[in-house]
Amino acid sequence: MTTSTDSIERKILLKASRSRVWRALSDAEEFGDWFGVDFKGETMLAGRHVRGRVTYPGYEHLPFEVFIERMEPERLLSWRWHPAALDPAVDYSTEPTTLVVFRLEEAEGGVLLTVVESGLDAIPLARRATVFRLNTSGWDEQMLNIEKHVARA
Amino acid sequence: MRLRLVALLCAGGAMSITQLTSGTVITRQAITKHLGVLEAAGLVRNVKVGRERLWEFEASQVVEARRSLDEIAQQWDHALAKLKRAVES
C-alpha cells in the first residue's frame, strides 16, 4: 500500500535529447558527477550492484551503493538503495531499501524526467530525519562544484 | 468510534476518559480498549497529570514523517537541478 508519506515524486523538464539524458543517468561515472558519488570504473547493469564513494565534502569516507533493478534504454531506469546508510560501521544489507524509478518521456522542447522514490515508510523515522539533514547541508557546495565542472567542460 | 476518538483528541488536546465518555453511552471499559488499540498504532498516547491519566493525539509520528518527506523532496530537487545543468550544457 502506498501512503502519503511512503513515496515522493518529482518532475523536471530537461532541454536535451533523450540519448543525452539517458547517458547522464545510466553511465555510472556521469551519474556520479551530478549525484555526488565517485563511481569511477563502474558500469550500470540490471541485476547488479554499483559501488562507489560519496563525494560530498566531509562525507567522503562513506561508501555508496545502489542495486540496479531495471534498465530500459532511453525510457526507464530503476534502482534500490539504503537512503540513510550513513554509518560505515553498520551493515545495512538486511535492512529495507527504497526504490528509485527514473522515467523519461518525450516533451515539448526536451525530455520530461519523472523520479519516484518509494518505500520510505519502511525506513526508521529517526534515521530518515538525520540523514536527510546531513545530505541537504552538503548540496549547496555540490551545486557550485557542478557549475565549475560544467563551465570547464 | 476510533475515528471519533482521534477527532476528539485532535480538536480538544489532552482529555481524560471521563471527558471522552461524557454525553455518550459508551462505557469506560470500551473507551479504554479503543484507546489501547490506537496507542499500539502510535496514534495516541497517555500522560499522567497529577492523579489523572490524560490521552492525547500523537502528532509527532505523522509530522516527522511529513517533514522528512519535504527534506527528501528538496534533496531530489537539488540533485535534479544538477542533472539539468549537466545535460543542458
B68 phi, psi to nearest 5 deg = -70, -30
CB contact under 8 A, A15 and B88: yes
Per DSSP (E only), the strands in A43-109 are 49-54, 63-72, 76-81, 98-107
CB contact under 8 A, B87 and A24: yes
Q: What is the pLDDT of residues A104-126, one digit of tens each?
A: 999 999 999 999 989 888 877 66
Chain A residues whose CB is inside 8 A of the B83 CB are: 12, 14, 24-25, 34-35, 113
pLDDT band with cut points at 50, 70 and 90 for residue B24 = confident
Sheet holding A7-14, edge to edge: A7-14, A110-118, A98-107, A76-81, A63-72, A49-54, A37-38
Q: Please give the helix or strand (H or E) that residue A6 lies within, else none.
A: none
Asked if residue A126 lies in contact with residue A13, where contact means CB atoms within 8 angstroms, the answer is no
Chain A residues whose CB is inside 8 A of the B64 CB are: 125, 129
What DSSP designation does B1 have?
-
Q: What is the pLDDT of residues B34-82, one digit of tens each?
A: 899 888 877 788 888 888 888 888 776 677 777 778 878 888 888 899 9
Q: What average pLDDT score do residues A31-50 get?
A: 94
Q: Is B70 on the interface with A (CB under 8 A)?
A: no
Tell me, what's the pLDDT at A126?
A: 63
Chain B residues whose CB is inside 8 A of the A121 CB are: 65
Chain A residues whose CB is inside 8 A of the B71 CB are: 129, 132-133, 136
CB contact under 8 A, B65 and A135: no
CB contact under 8 A, A34 and B85: yes
Residues facing A9 on adjacent strands: A116
Residues 12 through 51 of chain B touching chain A, CB cutoff 8 Å: none
Closest Cβ–Cβ partner in A34, A83, A120 for B86: A34
Tell me, what's the pLDDT at A149?
A: 46
Tell me, what's the pLDDT at A153?
A: 46
Q: What is the pLDDT of residues A120-152, one digit of tens each?
A: 888 776 666 555 444 444 434 444 443 454 444
A&B contacts, CB < 8 Å: 89
Residues facing A117 on adjacent strands: A8, A100
CB contact under 8 A, A135 and B75: yes
CB contact under 8 A, A14 and B74: no
CB contact under 8 A, B68 and A117: no
